[in-house]
Structure 1
Amino acid sequence: MKEFALRPVLGWLAARLPQPCPPKRSFSLLLALLIALGTTLNAVARPVDVSLATLFPTERQTKTAVVINKVLERFHYRDFQLNPAFATDALHHYFEALDPNRSFFLERDIKRFLGSANKLDDELIQGRVDVAFDIFRVYRMRVDNRVEFALGQLQQNFDFQQPEQYQFDRAEAPWPQNEAELNQLWRQRVKNDYLTLKLADKDDADIRKQLRKRYEGISRRIHQFDADDVFQTFVNAYTQSLEPHTAYMSPSTSENFDISMRLSLEGIGAVLRADNEYTVIQRTIPGGPARQSGLVQTGDKIVGVAQGVDGDFEDVIGWRLQDVVDKIRGPKGSVVRLQLLPKAGLSGGGHMREVSLVRNEIKLEDQAAKSYVIDGPDNARDVKIGVIEVPAFYRDFRAESAGRKNFRSTTRDVRTLVTELEQQGVDGIVIDLRGNGGGSLTEATSLTGLFIKEGPVVQVKDSFGKIEVETDPDPDALYSGPLAVIVDRNSASASEIFAGAIQDYGRGIVIGEPTFGKGTVQTLIDLNRYVPGDNIDLGRLRLTMAEFFRISGGSTQLKGVEPDIAFDLGYDSDDHGERSLDNALPWGTIRPADYQTFTGVDLNWLRSRSAARTAKDPGFQMLTHQGRMLTEIEKQNKVSLREDERRFESERRDKALKDERNAFLRTRGVEPVDEKADPIDEEALEKQQEVIDAIQVDEAARILADVIKRQGGAEQRRSVMRD
């Protein structure tokens, strides 16, 4: 299972999908990540109205719950004890999974069910999950009631001149006390939904028609939840009360996963997540249509989906994540169009944009490492820096198992690129790991080995306390010259192992943002193995069973890798990555490994010079201002319901971001692209994005040039024996 160890989701896909869903959001993450890339699964949407009379636990689900408890007790990395406190926490997570915005349940519903939690642990030990179904039946009735109220509000006229605010994010708000509070909340919600579409230049008739379909769709989709859906939602709330990366797949979800593993990866190349009733772009995949378009950004909300070049848009706000993905995926070569609400306009009410994408297969070659040369950074004209972009730690397992000697892998490709760069006479090399979510443990270890002569790379501690050390398999170093590694907040898993090892050895300088902090190891367990001879399919459990530790003894978990030279880009690191998740495993330490380090460089001198440059750099000024504005938006949970205020705020933010970006581009001799043009100049847009992406890499090259100038590129090695 080592090749799966680094992967935050199951199997092959997780090399590209490092990020778990945010705290207190939908627990549909597992299936969402499987199909968000557009894999051709069986249809997920089931337009069948499930009778309330069928929403009761089955014998199979009772047996599954018992087996899951035993597996958690025996194999989970964190000590698991099913007691009343844990059972209560699981119920809280279940309420939040069903109603993350606290806009359906009443406080009396919560108190009623929590009042029986003191005996829930005994029930769960026996596999009894009746309470989950009792809660869901109440939830479905509450949804029907709220939808009926919302449809009634659509018959009203709205006054958008009244000074009124709507709290659109209620994840931390109290549960409504009574129906009058719910009515007030939903009156404001409908008014806000109407105003958002009005600001997008929709007319009255279209707005009311679109919202009617949206609200009716909420009820319709909840009515499609069957007993397996209810059970899986509850069990995932239950397991994530223990730790955020442990998740359950029902038999039907497992079947879809297996199908996806046998098919080519086709779609738009975007990882999606549920955020209340929105579907949000979590990140785009290198080589995929979304990334290549330059028009789809992290944080964008998908509000509409259309098929083909002229198909009608369907409003997808309030849809289940699975159903949204079912609309987005499709055969290679077909067109899908998305209506996106940019992150900068989320609370301001802003301007939706339409993006047309041609679905395509995402090939290994598209994710392969690439290189280029920065010839003479502006602080060292006589220095030549090579840059190697590593978007994923990939390894062609299928070709390897077939016995092909020339199978593709990160290490093999980087070895070739380093050789080519040295032939071009580079004085130093920058490894770019920004956005790299991880991949193969073997590749993380062997890639590190290209830059050190020998020694350990990472330590793995399992749930029984056993520690295994992964070591460099190659006794020789391919490259011993000046080295830097650039990382960002989305560098995770294998990226953190590589960057951490380079930092611990003192082999190179780590530059950028603190990394994601994903330092746990998951494995996939078939629950049927625990009931031999039984023909009932129980599904599978993705289980956290180990943790990664750096050779210096500290974990990559939670804290990630702190750069030697940090770029402050205005983001709040506590709201991102592992640090933002409920019940994440804590950071810890174990005994350091034995290894040799290189002589250090004067980091304070380098930091001072870099800080002086970035303070005056228009690119960094733009990135920092953008980060601060997006952080401000992320923290906002209320919005004005006055049209003039909303319009002004939306236009102010939009103008500020665009003006600063455009001013920076012109300093680089690039004329900004008109994103509202029809058709848009996609080649120019791609060039524009390349210039923005180069801001941090260019500074990393300057930092490395400082090292080269100060030390002449010489690296002296010394031994350090650990106790």
Structure 2
Amino acid sequence: MKKTLILGINALYLLVFSATALAVVKEVPQESLIPDNSQRQTALILNRVLERYHYRKVPLDDKLSEKILNRYLEALDPNKSFFTQADIDGFSHYRHELDDAISSGRLEPAFEIFRRFRQRVDQRVDLALKLLKENKFDFTRKETYRFDREDAPWAKNETQIEDQWRKRVKNDILGLRLAGKDDKKIRETLEKRYTTMRRRVHQLDAGSAFQTFVNAYALSIEPHTSYMSPERSENFDISMRLSLQGIGAVLRSDDEYTVIQKVVPGGPADKSGQLHAGDKIVGVGQGEKGEVEDIIGWPLQDVVEKIRGKKDTLVRLNVLPKAAGASAPVKTVVIQRDKIKLEDQAAKSSIIEADGMRFGVIDLPAFYRDFRGQAAGEKDFRSTTRDVRKLIDKLVKDHVDGIIVDLRNNGGGSLTEATELTGLFIPHGPVVQVKDSQGHIDVERDSDPEEAYTGPLAVLVNRNSASASEIFAAAIQDYGRGLIIGEPTFGKGTVQSLVDLGQFSRHKQDLGRLRLTIAQFFRVRGGSTQHKGVIPDVQFPTAEGSGKHGESSLDNALPWASIKPAEYHPVSKAPQLAMLQHKHEVRVAKDPGFNFLVEQNQEINRMEARKEVSLVEAERKKEWDEREQRALERHNKLRALRGLPPLSKLDDDDEDEFAEKEDDPEGINRIMQEEAAHILADYIRQQQPVTAQAD
């Protein structure tokens, strides 16, 4: 079975880089939305591969059939905007039939549901255009619009769903009014948005229907398993290359929005400091003056086509920042596309002084390895471990008192690098255990007895540290080699492989690929990093409110598990963690920098918890103004700490309080690093022997 090993949390999503443009798709006749023989064959093969090779053994039966139906309906209508409860009731006779449909290659039920979905989209768009034409909305009337209907019930009947769409159109109009658009521009924008929504659905062909359905099957088993059609496989290949071109952002679809899943370290978006995980892209324009197209409701593939482009060209994005909430007006971000080089993602070092000590900080955005250079026989090919070793040598020569390895937002990478990097800090021994679908356990070991650094060590992590980052942090913690500081990590403790489904067909045709979970990571002490992640020895208050984040928030995620510990030998005694935690809490309670982070985190949590917004224009504007004032006050407190003059307002260049720019005058990115240095200083003093005093 041919396969490609995948680590990290973002491999499924499309990266916005340059590639061969897709052909313009024409609208697909309703009568052509039927399965073909290739799709039937793919379904049969996919079923056999999942049952034989997936780490989690889930039989395709009536119980799974129910999950597949629910997930398929959610995939088609995630915000419950098109189907009514009557539609759902009408599909109920398929509840225990989809398993048989897949195992026999009889896919007609999935396509019948898809055709009904297209009919409902036509009806709802007709209603939206009618409401827009009437445009008689009272923005002083007390009512709210529920924009997040994921957990809401389906509309009971046509009357309910018509009222739901009335409020949706009213909210769309209000959002553009608050953004300063006049009535004519609002009408043009929304008319185009709604007609484009219908056209995009009409362009979805039988292949799109098939991919959505079989992914409902795959994702009902486990969230990191998914099918990629031949076309999507091409985009995945682009994302795995070392030298990339574009803005450097990983995107995903969330309801009708395009959401930034991750900003690629070293890319244009990262360097600009203007785009961040969780931001929603709602419009795309080309160059300095090109029209910004409203892309709400567009398929992800089409959004990617608009954003990616040639090096040195400009793209303008209309963005809803994550912390601004659904009621906020958009901001425009201009980014120059560029080539993303491995060097831009390489480890870097700096020095921080705290409590009379000097600490080296190694910022590591990814676990990278130049596999092409290695395959070509280059002796000095680029790798994480080699770069970090050089940085350690330099820091030791600079006589630092300790080293902090910063793994915040490091989503993973090479397992080999995670193992070898751990070896720089331990004598030798096992680093991680890998259990496959057959129950066999392999142990990844550091066999090199040399240690590049034996001094005080801390590892800084956050909720976006995942996969290879968790392997490294867990090994350092299990060996007692250093302190883990920050927030609980993402919790992805599984391994995926890419399986070419064509190899199982008689004629070896291209049937796409299956991203398949084949193994699970376990720490050397036996517990998994899956689900729970790595819990810091000293935990920051910013960890509060992160329960709906990471692996534990994903449907059907593998649970935490444990196996027999590997044979390993901790290198030091456990520190007095309660004392370190107490000193940390006392210190940050009075630290303006950390207060900034905590208040910022609370603002984000409040916005994420909201399900609805007011449709009263005055209330919406007041809410936005108050949020802006709170952000300004937070900024100015931090600027005062850094000795900078206060801002009178937050303009487009300064308003993004969540930026981690290379030019970071407020030192937002340094706040956690500085506190990690204080904690490491506490630890060093704690380990020093107490000198007896004479009476």
User: 1:25 aligns to what?
Assistant: none
Post-superposition Cα deviations, 1:138-162, rounded to whole Å, max 9, x if no partner, equal 0001001100100011122211000
Distance 1:405 1:713 in 2: 45
List aligned pairs for 1:104-119, cutoff 5 A: 104-119=82-97
Residue number among 113, 121, 133 corresponding to 2:111 in the alignment: 133
User: 2:263 aligns to what?
Assistant: 284
Contact 2:247 2:336 in 1 (8 A): yes
Structure 1 range deviating more: 113-122 or 664-673: 664-673
Post-superposition Cα deviations, 1:195-222, rounded to whole Å, max 9, x if no partner, equal 0111111111111110000000100000
Q: Which amino acid aligns with 2:203?
A: Q
SS at match of 2:282: strand
Contact 1:440 1:494 in 2 (8 A): yes
Question: Is 1:237 matched up with 2:212?
Answer: no
SS at match of 1:37: strand
C-alpha distance 443-452 of structure 1, shift in aligned 2 (>3 A): same
Structure 1 range deviating more: 563-572 or 152-161: 563-572
Post-superposition Cα deviations, 1:616-648, rounded to whole Å, max 9, x if no partner, equal 111111111111121111111011100111111
Residue number among 303, 310, 313 corresponding to 1:334 in the alignment: 313
C-alpha distance 713-208 of structure 1, shift in aligned 2 (>3 A): farther
Q: Which amino acid aligns with 2:366?
A: A
User: 1:435 aligns to what?
Assistant: 409
Distance 1:414 1:616 in 2: 34
C-alpha distance 467-286 of structure 1, shift in aligned 2 (>3 A): same
Question: Is 1:708 matched up with 2:681?
Answer: no
Structure 1 range deviating more: 445-454 or 474-483: 474-483
Residue number among 352, 360, 363 corresponding to 1:389 in the alignment: 363
C-alpha distance 244-689 of structure 1, shift in aligned 2 (>3 A): farther
Distance 1:173 1:88 in 2: 19
Q: Which runs of 5+ in 2 are unaligned?
A: 691-695
SS at match of 1:118: coil
User: 1:311 aligns to what?
Assistant: 290
User: 1:556 aligns to what?
Assistant: 529
User: 1:536 aligns to what?
Assistant: 509
Q: Which amino acid aligns with 2:687?
A: Q
Distance 2:421 2:172 in 1: 50
Contact 1:487 1:513 in 2 (8 A): yes
SS at match of 1:197: helix
Distance 1:523 1:60 in 2: 23
Contact 1:6 1:441 in 2 (8 A): no
Question: Is 1:91 matched up with 2:65?
Answer: no
Question: Is 1:515 matched up with 2:493?
Answer: no
Question: Is 1:462 matched up with 2:436?
Answer: yes
Once the two structures are TM-superposed, the CA of residue 404 in structure 1 deviates from its matched residue by: 0.3
List aligned pairs for 1:677-692, cutoff 5 A: 686-688=662-664, 691-692=667-668
Contact 1:570 1:624 in 2 (8 A): no
Question: Is 1:293 matched up with 2:267?
Answer: no
SS at match of 2:31: helix
Instruction: State TM-score, norm by structure 2.
Output: 0.95
C-alpha distance 703-219 of structure 1, shift in aligned 2 (>3 A): same
Q: Which amino acid aligns with 2:663?
A: K
Distance 2:387 2:444 in 1: 21
Question: Is 1:622 matched up with 2:605?
Answer: no
Once the two structures are TM-superposed, the CA of residue 4 in structure 1 deviates from its matched residue by: 5.5
User: 2:335 aligns to what?
Assistant: 357
User: 1:169 aligns to what?
Assistant: 148
Question: Is 1:452 matched up with 2:426?
Answer: yes
Contact 2:527 2:562 in 1 (8 A): yes
User: 2:693 aligns to what?
Assistant: none
User: 1:644 aligns to what?
Assistant: 618
Q: Which amino acid aligns with 1:372?
A: S
Residue number among 628, 633, 648 corresponding to 1:654 in the alignment: 628
Distance 1:681 1:57 in 2: 48
Contact 1:6 1:493 in 2 (8 A): no
Distance 1:246 1:323 in 2: 23
Post-superposition Cα deviations, 1:204-250, rounded to whole Å, max 9, x if no partner, equal 11111100000001000000101111101111111000000111011
User: 1:153 aligns to what?
Assistant: 131
List aligned pairs for 1:564-713, cutoff 5 A: 564-569=537-542, 571-597=544-570, 598-671=572-645, 676=651, 686-688=662-664, 691-712=667-688
Question: Is 1:275 matched up with 2:260?
Answer: no
Contact 2:3 2:499 in 1 (8 A): no
C-alpha distance 409-48 of structure 1, shift in aligned 2 (>3 A): same
Distance 2:92 2:331 in 1: 44
List aligned pairs for 1:15-94, cutoff 5 A: 18-19=9-10, 30=12, 33-34=13-14, 36-43=15-22, 46-94=24-72
Structure 1 range deviating more: 263-272 or 138-147: 263-272
C-alpha distance 259-514 of structure 1, shift in aligned 2 (>3 A): closer
C-alpha distance 396-589 of structure 1, shift in aligned 2 (>3 A): same
Once the two structures are TM-superposed, the CA of residue 356 in structure 1 deviates from its matched residue by: 0.8
C-alpha distance 642-414 of structure 1, shift in aligned 2 (>3 A): same
Structure 1 range deviating more: 682-691 or 128-137: 682-691
User: 2:245 aligns to what?
Assistant: 266
List aligned pairs for 1:480-519, cutoff 5 A: 480-519=454-493
SS at match of 2:113: helix
SS at match of 1:94: helix
Identity of aligned residues (%): 54
Distance 1:622 1:268 in 2: 29
Distance 1:495 1:403 in 2: 27
Distance 1:281 1:624 in 2: 23
User: 2:452 aligns to what?
Assistant: 478
User: 1:7 aligns to what?
Assistant: 7
C-alpha distance 690-405 of structure 1, shift in aligned 2 (>3 A): farther
C-alpha distance 122-2 of structure 1, shift in aligned 2 (>3 A): closer
C-alpha distance 527-317 of structure 1, shift in aligned 2 (>3 A): same
Q: Which runs of 5+ in 1 are unaligned?
A: 9-17, 21-29, 715-723
Once the two structures are TM-superposed, the CA of residue 118 in structure 1 deviates from its matched residue by: 2.0
Distance 1:559 1:222 in 2: 39
Contact 2:17 2:239 in 1 (8 A): no
Once the two structures are TM-superposed, the CA of residue 374 in structure 1 deviates from its matched residue by: 1.0
Q: Which amino acid aligns with 1:642?
A: V
SS at match of 2:291: coil
Distance 2:549 2:33 in 1: 37
SS at match of 1:153: helix
Once the two structures are TM-superposed, the CA of residue 262 in structure 1 deviates from its matched residue by: 6.6
Distance 1:318 1:128 in 2: 30
SS at match of 2:663: helix
Once the two structures are TM-superposed, the CA of residue 351 in structure 1 deviates from its matched residue by: 2.9
C-alpha distance 437-94 of structure 1, shift in aligned 2 (>3 A): same
Contact 1:37 1:265 in 2 (8 A): no
C-alpha distance 258-431 of structure 1, shift in aligned 2 (>3 A): closer
C-alpha distance 701-260 of structure 1, shift in aligned 2 (>3 A): closer
